Structure 1
Amino acid sequence: MSAALDEMARSIALREAEVMRFALGDRWGKRQPAQRASARVYAAERGGGWIDVARRRLAFGAGELVFLPRADAHAIRDRPTTSLEQPEALCRGMHAVADRALATEAPPEAHLVIVDLHLDAAGAPWLALLPPAVHITGATPGLARWLGETLALLAGARDLSPALRRSIGETWAHALFASALRDPGASLPRAEALRDEPVVAALARVRASPERAWELGELARQAGLSRSAFAARSTALLGEPLGHHVRRLRLQRAAVLLGETTLPVKLVAARVGYDSEPAFARAFARAHGVSPIAYRQARRREDGAPEIRRAG
C-alpha cells in the first residue's frame, strides 16, 4: 500500500511555493478563505497557535507543522478565546521587516512560517478524500525533522536558484501529501487499484520513462489483468486515462528540458517521445499556453538568465 500512496502523492505538480515569515505578539488571528488549486502549511519556529478548520480545532507548537492539503477555509489565532468577529485580520501594527517577512508592533511571542503551495492537481481526484488538516509533530521524528529542515532551507536560503527552489519545493510537497494520505483521517476509497501493487508498479515504470511508446495491452499483461480491468484501475488511481497521463508527463518533462538545458526544440521533442517537432510544438502550446521557444525565453527571464547546463 505504501508504494501506491507514494505514487499518488507524486501525481501532484507544484507550480509555485510562496513562503512568508511572521513575528506575532499581543492578540492576533485571521480568517482565511478557501483557496483553489492550493495547499497551505503553518509551521511554528517559536511559540505556536490554534487552527480551526472543518469543525476541528488543532493546537500546534514550536517545531510542529499543520498541513492543509486543500487550503480549506479556516481560522488561525493565538489562543481559542481570541475573537475573530471582524472580517479583517486581528494583527495590530503589522508591518514589513524584511523581504517576505512581517511583524506586529508588540514583542513577538510566536514566530510562524506560512507556505502557500500552488498546485497542478489535474491527476489527483483523491485530494477530496484527504482530511482537512494534518498535524505533523515530534511523534514521527524522522519525517518531522526532515520536513522542518527542508522548510528552513526554502525559507532562509536566498541564494538558491529558482529552478533548484522549485525542485526542492516539489519534493517537500510530495512528502507532505504522502503524509496526508497515510493520516488516519484520510478516507481512502476501497477501490482495488489503490492496493494493487502490480498496477502501481506498471504506472511507476510509465512515470520513469514517459517517452516510451507504451501499449495499454502490454502494461495490462505485465500486471496480470485484462486490458479493460487495467484501464479502469489505472484511471481510478490517476484520475485520468493513461494516455492523457502519459502526454502530461511528457510535456512536464519537456518544460524542464526547455528551462534547464540548451537542447534544440527538435531534440527536446525527441527526448520526450515525439517524432514530429510541429506535433510537439502544438501539444506543448495547448498545455502551457505558449510555444516551446517562448516558454524557454520566459523561463530564462524569470530565472535571471542563469548559466544553463548543456545536456548530452
Structure 2
Amino acid sequence: MDVLSDVLITLRTGRPSAARSSSQAPWGVRFQRGPAAGCHVVLEGGCWLLSDHGEPRRLSPGDVLFTPHGDGHALADHPDSPLVDFEPEPHDAAPLDEMRIDGAGPVTELLCAYYWFDAARPHPLLTELPAMVHVPARVGQHPSLRAAVELLGQEVADPRPGTEAAVPALIDMLLLYVLRAWLDDQPEGQSGWATALRDPAITAALRQIHRHPEKPWTVEDLAAVAGLSRAAFAKRFTAIIGQPPLTYLTWWRMTTAARLLRESDDPLRTVAARSGYASEYAFGKAFKRAYDTAPGSYRAAQKSSA
C-alpha cells in the first residue's frame, strides 16, 4: 500500500457521509468548528466562502473546498445573507442526506462530504494542510478529481440500488483526489509531506515503515532501503519529515496499534507484535506514554463510543 492511502485508511474513524443541498437566494449555511473535516463541491450556481482565514472568497461551479481541521466557516449566496447552522453527526447510519433552503433567487447546488479522523493522533501530512484548501475548477487540471466529483454528484442526485455502498467509497475517493491536487500544486524543494512523497529515497523508507511496522528497523536498515548512507539518510529524512526516522517509526507504530485496537478484537499480545513490540508489557508502556491510557482501556472506550 502506498503511504498516502495508508495514512487515510489508518487515521479515518467512523463512516464518511455526504449531503446535497439545493438553496435559493438568499441563503447561508454556517458550519461550526468541530471534529469533522469537510469537503464542499459547487455543482451548480456559485457561493461565497466566509471564514476567519481571510476575506470572503467566491466559489464557482466545479470548485472544491476542503476544511481538514474542522475550522468553522460558512457558505452563502452573498456575504450579508442570514446563516443557518448545520452540524454533521459522526454516527449517522445514513451515508447520504439532503438539505433544501427555499427562496426567490437563483439556485445553488452543493455537495458536502464529511470525514472523521483520529483527533488524538493527527498525521503530520494532515496537520500541515492549511485551514482552507481551495481547488478551483480549471480546464484540464486534476481530471481524476473532476471525475470523482461527477460520479459522486450523479449518485447523490439520482440514488439507485447500490447507492448506499457507492457513496462512502466515492467520498473516500474524493478526499484522496483533493489531497493529491493539493500536493501536486505545492512548489518543489521545500520540507514537508508534499516533498516527501516526491522523493524516491524518503518514499521508499516510508513505504517500508508503513508496510512493516512490526520489523525491528534501525536507521541503517532504512538508509539501505533508501539507497543512502546512514548519515545522509538521517539528515534528509529529518529535514523533510520534521522528525528523525525512528521517532516517526514509533509514532506510526502507536497509530497502527490504535487502529487495531479500534477495529479488531485481536488479543493485546497480537496487537503488540503487529505494532513492533516483542512483549505485551513493553507495548503497554509505550501505548500509555502515547495515549495516556492503557491499551485495554483505550479499546473499551472506543468500542463503547462507536
Aligned to 2:210: 207
Q: C-alpha displacement at 1:148, in angstroms?
A: 4.8
Q: 1:241 aligns with which of 241, 244, 249?
A: 244
**Which residue of the partner structure matches residue 50 of structure 1?**
48
**Number of aligned residues:** 279
Distance 1:91 1:209 in 2: 47
Given the alignment of the two structures, is residue 294 of structure 1 paired with residue 297 of structure 2, yes or no?
A: yes
Give identity over the alignment, percent: 27
- The match for 1:102 is 99
SS at 1:249 equivalent:
helix
Matched, 1:90 2:83: yes
The amino acid across from 1:57 in the alignment is: R
Larger displacement relative to structure 2 (199-208 or 189-198): 189-198
Find the counterpart in structure 1 of residue 88 from structure 2. Answer: none
CA contact (8 A) 1:41 1:67 kept: yes
Structure-2 residue corresponding to 1:113: 111
Q: Is the 8 A contact 1:31 1:75 kept in 2?
A: yes
Query: How far apart, in 2, do the equivalents of 1:181 and 1:240 lie?
Result: 20
8 Å CA contact 1:130, 1:181 repeated in 2? no
1:180 Cα offset (Å): 0.6
Query: CA–CA distance in 2 between the matches of 1:11 and 1:76?
Result: 29
Give the partner amino acid of 1:90. Answer: L
> Residue 54 of structure 1 contacts residue 132 of structure 1 at CA under 8 Å; is this kept in 2?
no
- Find the counterpart in structure 1 of residue 28 from structure 2: 29
Residue 224 (structure 2) pairs with residue 231 (structure 1): no
Q: What amino acid is the match of 1:65?
A: V
Q: How far off is 1:197 after superposition? A: 1.3
Alignment of 1:140-159 (within 5 A): 140-149=142-151
Please give the per-residue CA displacement for 1:76-120, whole angstroms capped at 9, x wherever unaligned: 322xxx3428xxx4359xxxxx98543324378223232344545
1:160-215 CA-partner distances (Å, limit 9, x unpaired)? 6xxx96x87666434321211112xx345435964531222122122111111111
CA distance in 2, matches of 1:240, 1:154: 42
Distance 2:295 2:190 in 1: 41
| Counterpart for residue 124 of structure 1 | 125
Deviations 1:139-158 (A, max 9, x none): 34333222553587799889
CA distance in 2, matches of 1:224, 1:149: 41
* Residue of 249, 254, 272 corresponding to 1:251: 254
- 1:134 CA drift (Å): 1.6
Query: Could you tell me how far apart the structure 2 residues matched to 1:38 and 1:189 are?
Result: 32
Partner of 2:281: 278
Q: Deviations over 1:236-276 (max 9, x none)?
A: 33332222221222222223333333321111211221111
Q: Residue 9 of structure 1 contacts residue 177 of structure 1 at CA under 8 Å; is this kept in 2?
A: no
Separation in structure 2 between the aligned mates of residue 70 and residue 261 of structure 1, nearest angstrom? 27
TM norm structure 2? 0.69
Kept after mapping to 2: 8 A contact 1:137/1:144: no
Q: Paired residue for 2:220?
A: 217
Shift of 1:282: 2.6
Give ranges in structure 2 of 5+ residues lacking alignment. 86-93
Change (3 A) 1:168 1:287: farther
Q: Cα deviations across residues 42-99 of structure 1 (Å, max 9, x unaligned)?
A: 12344442336645834322x5533345666765322xxx3428xxx4359xxxxx98
2:296 alignment partner AA = I
- Assess if the C-alpha contact under 8 Å between 1:67 and 1:135 holds in 2: no
Q: What is the distance in 2 between the residues matched to 1:286 and 1:151?
A: 44
Change (3 A) 1:187 1:56: farther
Q: 1:269 to 1:260 in 2, by over 3 A?
A: same
Q: Distance in 1 between matches of 2:181 and 2:5?
A: 9
Q: Flag structure 1 segments of 5+ consecutive residues without an equivalent.
A: 1-5, 93-97, 304-312
Aligned partner of 2:100: which letter? A
1:67 aligns with 2:66: yes
Distance 1:152 1:171 in 2: 14
For residue 60 of structure 2, give the secondary structure of its aligned residue in structure 1. Answer: strand
* Separation in 1, partners of 2:242, 2:34: 18
